[in-house]
């Protein structure tokens, strides 16, 4: 597979001014006529390359005449050489949506027709210069049979529609904004809309629609509310207004990712729209709010200003993730009320950072490590990664921290002033931030070019006589593929110093005239720097990287006692959580290395103090009292050995469940949420902590706990509690777990999204009962369930994804059965949907961390996949890089 280099970027010699598309839609034979008004860029020479994939070319005419010699076929599609500097190119292609299992381009789902064009799907619909720097105005005419496709949608405004003979109808859509082809969309399906009309900041009336399958309108309300909130937030926070008369969200059941920000016509995986209290959990409600907002925010950060080339993907994704994180934090804070606001924000921040650490830090230390702006790729679909999205957002967040909210806003204003309507680069974004704030950001740009998670090593020295505390911070970034050497970065380190009484000290840095705030942001720019704090009367405990001020790994020598102290006293909730996680990690890894060791008493005491502190927000306690994820722990274990790690985790869970059974039962009772379900952070926090209590109690085999789990499962009126009860039963040796699973399946047999949870729960189950059969057997059996389809990405992610990624001890069974199963599934999936196959394939990329025996088994299967016939470039890149 050829490698594409960032340095190879060349502007196109042609502009496409307008695109007229005419679709004769049919599930098996759709005829697409495209009319492109092309103009040669003054002074440029060369042909116009047209990308095309899996297309039947019916005709191609240039200015009305057969193309003849002026057209030739290339590896990527076609190349045309018009005889003059302006040309109208008319291309007719035929495609078969029903046969398109890749879910890229035009495809069929549940009788409807949908498109997905990012990143390179438009070329599967018609021949086109399918690159994001080609921005054109689109007019789209859709024609289809009325009975099968009663709703016809595309980008922009509906300018005409009507009936045609033979029970057919048509609609014409015009998008007033020039856009790249990846933002094109159409939908032809049987759908119903929830509608709301709102007034924008400047007083324009706009129509918002959420289109769902008939019968699902009662699940669209939360998405609609989220959309209205997002629209208001962007007006208030950045002065950005909706620029269209109509904004549509459409739900589809088969979708490779979460959602897509097509201009004015967002297409969503059903999972990120549909929610009713009895079918969706608090986490689902939260996910919907953030994804709806994310896609809406793309209208400015992505659509109005887009990427020059796909290497700049983080320009829109990192920035938009940062925006959706800020939005969700503001929504949670508003709902929580003034008193609980800070805690609500911290909970969101911890959740985001936990995600970054689990997915991105892991990616950064493996064979696919890349900078947030990669230098090369084989398949762009493999680069919609945690690095581009989550680390990209963290890099934007650091700019926000360094420039302040006001400075950041000034930078955003300048960015839009300069670049509205353009396709630009990450340098353009940072230049706007730098220029608006008169700040040199040259060194900061290294965050865009260096891969790997930087390590910050901290040590402190207190000089009692001088009443001075010197904090030494040193940074280095480990080598990553293709990048052996790294330079120092600009790292904002938010610091507090905790006094022996547990209270923060006011901070006076050397050179300051007076003490100021209790948290200061230090800028670490050298390989090593010393920061001196004055007037420090007793040896303080440093609290570093408060609020997770940078996406780095912090190394600091801390005794168990000091971790317990920070768990109890750190004024920064993020660091309090971090202290609990570090302590738990230390204990679990020690137990995994020494099977007969006891769970240390001091650790249990620290845990007990956390549970006993009634002043803490339940949502925070639920996060702090959750053990570090297994994937993260494997990342920290050398060599990674899933079986003893699982055994250690079980022992710690049992110990915490047993030792604190009374506290857990007390919490469970005290935090019961009465009244009808509402998606609200206070209620969600109580439910999360009660569900966690059930998990610990069930792990310990506590009878009271198991009874409560069963009752909660049976009688709960909302999915968060019902599923929480079921999960506790399944994650225990309870004899009623199987009946509960059957019962749940019967209750929700026709609800695809709820069944996704049912699949995932079983695939991710631990074997608390040693006599139970391996989980792999169950996963195989579940593949035969009538609800499971390998062609539906949600099903693949819930069953296979939960097993490959979420159940390491079972997946990495010593006999290699899990690995052989992985290879079979990757090969089968790849033949249908390379994007999904490749995402699943990535579950083995960090195989070199495992024990020698596991490595041998995994290598065999990686090679088996690498050598399979007809492998896609997507999977070839992943296994190829893994095997280097």
d(CA 762, CA 802): 9
Examine residue 694 and tell whether it contacts ligand HT7 (CB under 6 A): no
Q: Which residues of 153-171 are buried (b: 16+ CB within 10 A; e: fewer)?
A: bbbbeeeeeeeeeeeebbb
Residue of the chain from 14, 114, 310, 384 that contacts ligand HT7 (CB under 6 A): 384
Examine residue 301 and tell whether it contacts ligand HT7 (CB under 6 A): no
Provide, rounded to whole angstroms, the least separation between the CB of residue 260 and ligand HT7.
Answer: 4
d(CA 490, CA 504): 26
186-189 vs 151-154, strand pairing mode:
antiparallel
CB atoms within 10 A of CB 446: 16
d(CA 788, CA 783): 6
Residue of the chain from 19, 257, 497, 587 that contacts ligand HT7 (CB under 6 A): 257
DSSP run (H or E) holding 196? strand 192-199
Residue of the chain from 116, 303, 328, 475 that contacts ligand HT7 (CB under 6 A): 116
Nearest in space to 829 (alpha carbons), one of 306, 102, 214, 105: 102
Residue of the chain from 119, 193, 329, 688 that contacts ligand HT7 (CB under 6 A): 119
Count of residues interacting with Zn ion (CB under 5 A): 2
Q: Does the CA dihedral 813-818-820-823 come out positive or negative?
A: negative
Peptide bond into 445 cis (omega under 30): no
Percentages helix, strand, coil for the chain (3-state, rounded to 5) are: 45, 20, 35
Count of residues interacting with ligand HT7 (CB under 6 A): 15
- 166-225 binders of ligand HT7 (CB under 6 A): none
Nearest in space to 857 (alpha carbons), one of 695, 676, 649, 642: 642
Q: Give which of ligand HT7, Zn ion, none residue 518 binds (C-beta under 5 to 8 Å, depending on kind).
A: none
d(CA 879, CA 884): 9
Residue of the chain from 22, 213, 284, 295 that contacts ligand HT7 (CB under 6 A): 295
Which spans in 785-833 are helix H? 793-796, 802-806, 808-811, 817-832
Provide, rounded to whole angstroms, the least separation between the CB of residue 320 and ligand HT7.
Answer: 7
d(CA 394, CA 392): 5
Query: Is residue 295 among the annotated active site residues?
Result: yes
Examine residue 256 and tell whether it contacts ligand HT7 (CB under 6 A): yes
Label residue 711 exposed, middle or buried (CB < 10 Å: 0-12, 13-18, 19+): exposed
Output the six-digit token pair for 580.
Answer: 């609990």
Q: In the complex with ligand HT7, which residue's Cβ is closer, 631 or 793? A: 793
Peptide bond into 119 cis (omega under 30): yes
Q: In the complex with Zn ion, which residue's Cβ is closer, 317 or 845? A: 317
Q: Give which of Zn ion, ligand HT7, none residue 796 binds (C-beta under 5 to 8 Å, depending on kind).
A: none
Determine contact, residues 217/274, Cβ cutoff 8 Å.
no
Examine residue 874 and tell whether it contacts ligand HT7 (CB under 6 A): no
Q: In the complex with Zn ion, which residue's Cβ is closer, 392 or 834? A: 392
The window from 253-261, 641-649, 735-743, 839-847 that contacts ligand HT7 (CB under 6 A) reads 253-261
Examine residue 390 and tell whether it contacts ligand HT7 (CB under 6 A): no
Residue of the chain from 22, 26, 118, 289 that contacts ligand HT7 (CB under 6 A): 118
Examine residue 687 and tell whether it contacts ligand HT7 (CB under 6 A): no
Output the six-digit token pair for 446.
Answer: 């290294």
Q: Give which of Zn ion, ligand HT7, none residue 845 binds (C-beta under 5 to 8 Å, depending on kind).
A: none
Output the six-digit token pair for 642.
Answer: 């899933």
Provide, rounded to whole angstroms, the least separation between the CB of residue 257 and Zn ion.
Answer: 9
Provide, rounded to whole angstroms, the least separation between the CB of residue 294 and Zn ion.
Answer: 5
Residues in the chain: 884
The window from 64-72, 85-93, 111-119, 355-363 that contacts ligand HT7 (CB under 6 A) reads 111-119
Q: Give which of Zn ion, ligand HT7, none residue 381 binds (C-beta under 5 to 8 Å, depending on kind).
A: ligand HT7
Residue of the chain from 175, 284, 317, 845 that contacts ligand HT7 (CB under 6 A): 317
4-5 vs 14-24, strand pairing mode:
unpaired
541-544 vs 491-498, strand pairing mode:
antiparallel
The window from 187-195, 258-266, 621-629, 768-776 that contacts ligand HT7 (CB under 6 A) reads 258-266
The window from 320-328, 658-666, 737-745, 828-836 that contacts Zn ion (CB under 5 A) reads 320-328
d(CA 795, CA 785): 11
Output the six-digit token pair for 715.
Answer: 């009688």
Examine residue 227 and tell whether it contacts ligand HT7 (CB under 6 A): no
d(CA 458, CA 474): 7
Give strand ranges (E) for 618-673. none
Q: Does the CA dihedral 686-688-689-693 come out positive or negative?
A: positive
Examine residue 294 and tell whether it contacts ligand HT7 (CB under 6 A): yes
Determine contact, residues 829/804, Cβ cutoff 8 Å.
no
The window from 251-259, 428-436, 549-557, 584-592 that contacts ligand HT7 (CB under 6 A) reads 251-259
* Residue from 213, 286, 295, 363 carrying the catalytic annotation: 295
Provide, rounded to whole angstroms, the least separation between the CB of residue 169 and ligand HT7.
Answer: 29
Examine residue 823 and tell whether it contacts ligand HT7 (CB under 6 A): no
d(CA 411, CA 433): 4
Examine residue 572 and tell whether it contacts ligand HT7 (CB under 6 A): no
Nearest in space to 684 (alpha carbons), one of 400, 170, 332, 350: 332
Q: In the complex with Zn ion, which residue's Cβ is closer, 317 or 874? A: 317
Helices 873-883, 834-841: axis angle to 10 degrees equals: 20
The window from 291-299, 420-428, 652-660, 756-764 that contacts ligand HT7 (CB under 6 A) reads 291-299
- 494-533 binders of ligand HT7 (CB under 6 A): none
Examine residue 226 and tell whether it contacts ligand HT7 (CB under 6 A): no
Examine residue 845 and tell whether it contacts ligand HT7 (CB under 6 A): no
Q: In the complex with Zn ion, which residue's Cβ is closer, 139 or 266? A: 266
Provide, rounded to whole angstroms, the least separation between the CB of residue 406 and ligand HT7.
Answer: 27
CA geometry: angle at 807 spanning 802 and 811, to 5°?
A: 105
Q: In the complex with Zn ion, which residue's Cβ is closer, 321 or 706? A: 321
The window from 309-317, 351-359, 759-767, 774-782 that contacts Zn ion (CB under 5 A) reads 309-317
Residues that bind Zn ion (CB under 5 A): 317, 320
Give catalytic residue positions.
Answer: 295
Residues that bind ligand HT7 (CB under 6 A): 116, 118-119, 256-257, 259-261, 294-295, 298, 317, 381, 384, 835
């Amino acid at each position: 597979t050829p490698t594409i280099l960032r340095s190879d970027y060349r502007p196109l010699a042609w502009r496409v001014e307008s695109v007229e598309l005419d679709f004769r839609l049919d599930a098996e034979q759709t005829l697409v006529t495209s009319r492109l008004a092309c103009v040669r860029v003054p002074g440029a020479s060369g042909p116009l390359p047209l990308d095309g994939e899996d297309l039947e070319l019916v005709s191609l005419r240039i200015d009305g005449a057969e193309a003849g010699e002026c057209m030739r076929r290339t590896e990527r599609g076609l190349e045309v050489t018009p005889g003059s500097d302006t040309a109208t190119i008319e291309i007719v292609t035929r495609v078969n949506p029903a046969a398109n299992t890749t879910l890229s381009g035009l495809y069929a789902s549940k009788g409807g027709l949908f498109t997905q064009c990012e990143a390179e799907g438009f070329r599967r619909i018609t021949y086109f210069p399918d690159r994001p720097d080609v921005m054109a105005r689109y007019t789209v005419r859709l024609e289809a049979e009325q009975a099968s496709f009663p709703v016809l949608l595309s980008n922009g405004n509906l300018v005409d529609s009507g009936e045609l003979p033979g029970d057919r109808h048509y609609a014409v859509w015009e998008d007033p904004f020039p856009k790249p082809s990846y933002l094109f969309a159409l939908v032809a399906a049987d759908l119903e809309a929830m509608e709301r009309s709102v007034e924008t900041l400047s007083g324009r009336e706009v129509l918002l629609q959420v289109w769902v399958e008939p019968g699902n309108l009662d699940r669209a309300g939360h998405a609609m509310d989220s959309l209205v909130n997002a629209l208001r937030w962007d007006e208030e926070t950045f002065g950005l207004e909706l620029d269209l008369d109509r904004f549509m969200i459409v739900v589809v059941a088969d979708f490779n990712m979460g959602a897509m920000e097509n201009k004015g016509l967002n297409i969503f995986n059903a999972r990120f729209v549909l929610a009713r209290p009895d079918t969706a959990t608090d986490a689902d409600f939260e996910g919907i709010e953030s994804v709806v907002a994310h896609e809406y925010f793309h209208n400015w950060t992505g659509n109005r200003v887009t990427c020059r080339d796909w290497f700049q993907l983080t320009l829109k994704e990192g920035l938009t993730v940062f925006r959706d994180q800020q939005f969700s934090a503001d929504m949670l804070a508003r709902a929580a009320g003034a008193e609980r606001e800070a805690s609500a924000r911290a909970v969101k921040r911890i959740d985001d950072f936990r995600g970054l650490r689990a997915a991105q830090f892991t990616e950064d230390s493996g064979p696919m490590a890349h900078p947030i702006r990669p230098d090369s790729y084989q398949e762009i679909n493999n680069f919609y990664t945690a690095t581009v999205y989550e680390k990209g957002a963290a890099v934007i967040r650091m700019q926000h921290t360094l420039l302040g909210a006001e400075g950041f806003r000034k930078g955003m204003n300048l960015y839009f002033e300069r670049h509205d309507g353009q396709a630009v680069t990450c340098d353009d974004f940072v230049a706007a931030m730098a220029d608006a704030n008169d700040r040199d950001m040259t060194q900061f740009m290294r965050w865009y070019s260096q891969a790997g998670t930087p390590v910050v090593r901290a040590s402190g020295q207190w000089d009692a006589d001088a009443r001075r505390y010197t904090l030494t911070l040193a940074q280095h970034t480990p080598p990553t593929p293709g990048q052996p050497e790294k330079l120092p970065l600009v790292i904002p380190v938010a610091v507090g110093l905790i006094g022996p009484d547990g209270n923060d000290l006011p901070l006076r840095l050397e050179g300051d005239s007076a003490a100021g705030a209790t948290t200061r942001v230090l800028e670490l720019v050298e390989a090593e720097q010393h920061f001196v704090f004055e007037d420090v009367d007793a040896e303080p405990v440093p609290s570093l990287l408060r609020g997770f001020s940078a996406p780095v790994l912090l190394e600091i020598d801390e005794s168990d006692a000091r971790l317990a102290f920070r768990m109890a006293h750190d004024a920064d909730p993020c660091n309090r959580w971090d202290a609990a996680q570090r302590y738990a990690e230390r204990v679990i890894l020690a137990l995994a290395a020494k099977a007969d060791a006891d769970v240390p008493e001091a650790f249990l005491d620290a845990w007990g103090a956390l549970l006993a502190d009634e002043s803490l927000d339940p949502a925070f306690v639920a996060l702090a009292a959750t053990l570090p994820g297994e994937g993260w722990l494997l990342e920290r274990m050398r060599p990674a050995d899933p079986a003893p790690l699982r055994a250690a985790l079980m022992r710690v869970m049992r110990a915490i469940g047993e030792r604190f059974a009374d506290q857990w039962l007390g919490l469970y009772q005290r935090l019961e949420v009465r009244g009808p379900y509402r998606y609200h952070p206070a209620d969600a926090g109580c439910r999360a902590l009660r569900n966690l209590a059930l998990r610990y109690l069930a792990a310990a085999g506590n009878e009271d706990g198991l009874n409560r789990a069963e009752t909660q499962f049976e009688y709960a009126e909302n999915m968060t509690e019902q599923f929480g009860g079921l999960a506790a039963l399944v994650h225990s040796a309870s004899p009623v777990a199987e009946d509960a699973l059957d019962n749940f399946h019967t209750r929700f047999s026709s609800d695809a999204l709820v069944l996704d949870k049912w699949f995932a729960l079983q695939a991710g189950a631990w074997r608390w009962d040693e006599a139970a059969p391996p989980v792999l057997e169950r996963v195989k059996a579940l593949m035969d369930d009538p609800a499971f389809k390998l062609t539906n990405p949600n099903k693949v992610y819930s069953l296979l994804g939960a097993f490959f990624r979420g159940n390491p001890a079972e997946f990495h069974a010593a006999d290699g059965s899990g690995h052989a199963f992985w290879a079979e599934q990757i090969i089968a999936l790849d033949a249908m949907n390379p994007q999904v196959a490749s995402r699943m394939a990535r579950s083995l990329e960090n195989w070199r961390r495992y024990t020698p025996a596991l490595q041998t088994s995994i290598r065999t299967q990686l090679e088996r996949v690498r050598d399979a016939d007809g492998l896609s470039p997507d999977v070839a890149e992943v296994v190829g890089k893994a095997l280097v």
